[in-house]
Amino acid sequence: MLYGRTPFRGKNRQKTFANILHKDLTFPSSISVSLAARQLINALLQRDPVSRLGSNTGASEIKGHPFFRGINWPLIRRMSPPPLDAPLEFIGKDPDAKEVRWEDDGVLVNAMDMEDVVKENERSCLSILYWSKMGKGQSINRDKSGIFVSKGVHTQFIRQVKNQWGFKQLPKDVKYLGLPLFLSANKSKELAFVKDKLEARVCGWKSKCLSWMGRATLIKTVAQASPIYGMSAFKFPKGLGFRPFESFNEAMIAKLAWWVLSNRDSFCVKVLRAKYKVGSNWLQARPAGAASFSWRGLEGVRYILAKGACHLVGSGDNILVWRDPWIPNLPDYLPQPRDNVEPQCLAVAQLMNHDKLGWDENKLKDLFNEETVLAIKNIPRWSREQEDKWVWLKTTSACVIITLRHPFIYFGNVPLARAVWFGSEWSIRSEGILLQNPMSLIEMLVDPPATLGFNGAVKEKFLLMGALILDQLWKLRNAKVHDGRSVKMNHISRELSVRGREHWDIRRIPQSSSIPHPSTGWCFPNHGVIKFNCDAAVGGSFSCIAVVARNWRGEVVLALSRRVNTTIPLQAEAEALLWATHLAAELFMDLVIFESDSKSCIVALSNRLAGVS
């Protein structure tokens, strides 16, 4: 919120009035004032009452300013300041203990006299504890609470808190949620207990004497011993000697780093961004000079985010053209300048038209090479009110997905996959076939092992069924993860059998045989209805869209085509369908039908219309 001195404050009342009437508003350069805060202050301090913020609708107009975006006003109304005579409650306090209460803007903690600095510290701590209780609706349990102090804290204050509140002082080696609360300079020694815990799980096992089930049990017990919380909070030094755990540790830290970069709505993220002054160039910024161990871990995984983090263009005001990544289809998501063009400090908004609904092609051609211009034109449409934000391009959603992937998850490392392969007509035991890399899986399908005893015709059928099995497993995985559908083994076997028979029968049909194909043609609409057919043809640097309209007799009413600046097939189909709807609206056609060969566009439009109705 706003805090500090008013900008027109003078030595006395007359000087303050004179500053209000004549002094221009300036902002100090020593502190960072956001653009929204500057706009709010300027709007509130307008000398003309008519143009002043709030002069039209009052408080509602002020609360609608972008500076107050995200403020929960009903929650603030329900809050009340701490009463001056309300004691601070403790669970399980001694009946003989004196009350800690507020009186005359001071705090009575004991009969003894204390120094002013100790009183001020006491007042601050009590205020924090009281508001913590009010905000969370909880009371403080003294038996489960403790304090720790840093250098420079007055010993009298420490003694007073321990005696009056009953809090115990925490030792330096105390742990919280299984991790050291205070870390020394030797981080490897402090976190060595993680390595010891993992080694203790493995110690005593002899892999050469283990069955496949025994090895699976060993893997599960080691995985359960992995400190997931610790690996998502600290970057362990050199992975503590375990390379796979080092990679997983970096992936978990990268998730928190993504929250910091994308400015997630979290109190922890807001504190970190404010403390370390995180800006839009954080991925390229120098490491902080004096930073905590946790923050240095976040800075150590920025290279992971740099591989897939890109700006989603909205208004374009907060994206610098040459510094920030914002073009998805280019290396490092950065533009390439034309020959003899020196990069200048430009915002992406300066490359748009005045209405911010399209690009200024003349500026694009003057600044960038042809490849960059084409990539910029392929950026999906945006809204003028949309804010610039970060998106993650390496996955289908705008977040970092942390998973442990195995290249052969669809061959032998999952019970369902093993069951499907064993249920084939050759009863293949996939767990007995060792694969070194993904390419070896393809080689195994093309050239099966000699132990299987396949000849020419059987090899071809094995390759066909192997491809169908992999495709089926992939679809089942997506259905389970995204739709939550259950998997039934008998349905899988039946569908694989049907699909395999269809593909194999097609290959057995002679080339000279004539197969009757069902005739397809254009269908006439009902009487008085106009049918629009739209399509797109995608080229190397642009696309062409066409719209044809026919009446109920099949007569052509109109036929138009034009060029669009995109090479994305789905976007070109959507442009054609959008153009057809605009033409129908401009010609005041009430009864119309739109046909397109893009199922995604038709389904999206149908769902939108169903929601409106």
Nearest to 391 by CA among 284, 258, 300, 270: 258
- CA–CA gap between residue 252 and residue 248 (Å, rounded): 6
For 530-612, CATH gives 3.30.420.10
Domains of the chain, by residue range, sit at: 13-78, 90-169, 320-404, 415-508, 530-612
Chain position carrying tokens 């069955």: 211
- CA–CA gap between residue 155 and residue 118 (Å, rounded): 10
Where the chain has pLDDT below 70, the residues are 1-7, 22-23, 28-32, 74-75, 77-140, 142, 178, 187-190, 194-230, 238-245, 381-382, 395-414, 431-438, 507-520, 609-613
Chain position carrying tokens 């221009």: 24
Q: For residue 547, what are the β-bridge partners?
A: 534, 560
R_g of the chain, CA atoms, integer Å: 34
- CA–CA gap between residue 27 and residue 67 (Å, rounded): 17
Contact in structure between 561 and 539 (CB atoms under 8 Å): no
- CA–CA gap between residue 27 and residue 42 (Å, rounded): 10
HEC assignment per residue over 162-211: HHHHCCEECCCCCEECCEECCCCCCHHHHCHHHHHHHHHHHCCCCHHHCC
Q: How many alpha carbons lie under 13 Å from residue 544 in its C-beta half-sphere?
A: 6
Q: Give the CA distances from residue 511 to residues 45, 251, 499, 505, in Å, rounded to whole numbers and listed in that order.
A: 85, 53, 21, 13
Nearest to 542 by CA among 510, 568, 521: 568
pLDDT at position 28 is: 67
Q: Which two tokens stand for residue 332?
A: 């490092």
- CA–CA gap between residue 560 and residue 546 (Å, rounded): 6
Q: For residue 594, what are the β-bridge partners?
A: 532
Q: For residue 141, what are the β-bridge partners?
A: 91
- Cβ-proximal residues to 376 (8 Å cutoff; 6+ apart), any chain: 327, 335, 351, 359, 364, 368
pLDDT tens for 94-133 read 444 333 333 333 333 333 344 454 455 555 565 555 555 5
312: enclosing H helix or E strand:
strand 309-312
What are the DSSP calls for 542-600, one per residue?
-EEEEEEEE-TTS-EEEEEEEEES---HHHHHHHHHHHHHHHHHHTT-SSEEEEES-HH
- CA–CA gap between residue 344 and residue 444 (Å, rounded): 54
**Cα 492 from chain centre:** 35
- CA–CA gap between residue 525 and residue 527 (Å, rounded): 7
